[in-house]
Amino acid sequence: MKIKEIISVLEEMAPLAYAEDFDNVGLLVGDQDSEATGVLVCHDALENIIDEAIAKKCNLVVCFHPILFSGLKKITGKNYVERAVIKAIKNDIAIYAVHTALDNHQEGVNKIFCDALGLINTKILIPKKNYIRKLVTYTIPENAEEVRNALFDAGAGTVGNYENCSFNSKGIGTYMGNEHSNPQVGERFEFVQGDEIKIEVTFEKHLENKILKALFKSHAYEEVAYEIYALQNQHQNIGLGMIGELKSPMEEKEFLLFAKVKMQSDGIRHSNFIGKEIKKVAVLGGAGSFAIKNAIQAGADAFLTADLKYHQFYEAENKLLLADIGHFESERYTKNYIVDYLRKKILNFAVILSEENSNPVKYL
């Protein structure tokens, strides 16, 4: 199995198009055409992780955080990033990062966070904007079903919990072919007027090439007329953070102690208790201070995230319990999810969970 085949599975799990614009995801180091000997899954691809990959004969390291986040002008081994990259290159080890591609997935980082807390009725906290496109095309009635089904098979027509969604309207189409044409209906230089079906479907923008290939392959016309529009709709199944409900309400301190155990946190910093039972909980793995207002607007009783600064605790405004459980802790089960996913998709192949704890934050 080549590394690129494993990458295809990873991109099914976390499409790179889901990632935030600032992020650096995908294959960061290595040759995707190399034969894979084994996969080591970790949180951070540090130098000791590369040593572990060497020892376990894995030439692909799949990490959550990208070891290469901004550009390198020199690679001299002067810091932890350069040392890890140099060792990976010397030992022909590829590094692949998922990060916000998995953060934004409805089954990704924040769903894993919710599941660890036992939250139910979960939904995306900050739906992704400007991600939905609409395709409009026209064909003869006899070809409409074939075109629709091809578009559905390519991933178009999914709206929330519904699939195979489209809008179809009847109209009159006209055309006249020149000397180079080969019309499906009529002859060259003949003005043709006939019934047509207008088909409209929405799709996620990263599927555009696949959608268009399906359209051209299934369409009866020599020249396919189509239009693509960018929509302002939010995508309710892609986005950052998540909100859900506890099965039973808890007192504030009880809830924090519960979260501390479930997320294996050695310490939780939190805002003032406000004497409110915790039922509705928002979460955002990693640095999530930007989502405090979203959590409040969503009616959360508590918001669990990480990397909060001093003044950001004031932003709770006595409207919710704000808690920083630690960056690593909020994402700690992500690598387990990746391992489980790969093992289900790639049978009889070594997919190994790293034994190294890469959390740089220690507690007394």
User: What pLDDT is recorded for position 233?
Assistant: 87
Report how far Cα 218 is from the mean position of its chain's Cα atoms: 30
Contacts of 145 (CB under 8 A, 6+ apart): none
- By C-alpha distance, which of 56, 36, 22, 54 is closest to 96? 36
Instruction: State the pLDDT at residue 71.
Output: 81
**The model's pTM:** 0.88
CA-based nearest residue to 122, from 106, 141, 133? 106
235 vs 131: CA distance, rounded Å: 7
Task: Indicate the DSSP class of residue 36.
Answer: P
Beta-ladder partners of 39:
60, 351
Query: Which pLDDT score, from 0 to 100, does residue 198 have?
Result: 98
What pLDDT sits at residue 130? 87
- Cα 206–chain centre separation: 11
Rounded Cα distance between 156 and 202, Å, is: 6
Alpha-carbon distance of 157 to 207, in angstroms, equals: 11
Torsion sign across C-alpha atoms 300, 294, 157, 9: negative
Tokens read off for 361: 């934050």
From CA 197, how far away is CA 101, in angstroms rounded?
A: 37
> β-strand 132-139 against 226-230: which pairing, if any?
antiparallel
Spatial strand order in the sheet of 351-353: 26-29, 94-97, 60-65, 39-44, 351-353
3-state secondary structure at position 39: strand
Local confidence pLDDT in tens for the 364 residues of the chain = 999 999 999 999 999 999 999 999 999 999 999 999 999 999 999 999 999 999 999 999 999 999 999 888 899 999 999 999 999 999 999 999 999 999 999 999 999 999 999 999 999 999 998 899 999 999 999 999 999 999 999 999 998 889 999 999 999 999 899 999 888 788 899 998 999 999 999 999 999 999 999 999 999 998 899 999 999 888 989 999 999 999 999 999 999 999 999 999 999 999 999 999 999 999 999 999 999 999 999 999 999 999 999 999 999 999 999 999 999 999 999 999 999 999 999 999 999 999 999 999 999 8
The sign of the dihedral angle between the CA atoms of 332, 335, 339, 344 is positive
Strand duo 321-324 + 269-270: pairing: antiparallel
Distance, in Å, from the CA atom of 286 to the CA atom of 284, rounded to the nearest integer, reads 6
Burial of 212: CB neighbours in 10 Å, binned 0-12, 13-18, 19+: middle
Side by side, which strands form the sheet with 269-270?
120-128, 235-250, 278-287, 302-306, 321-324, 269-270
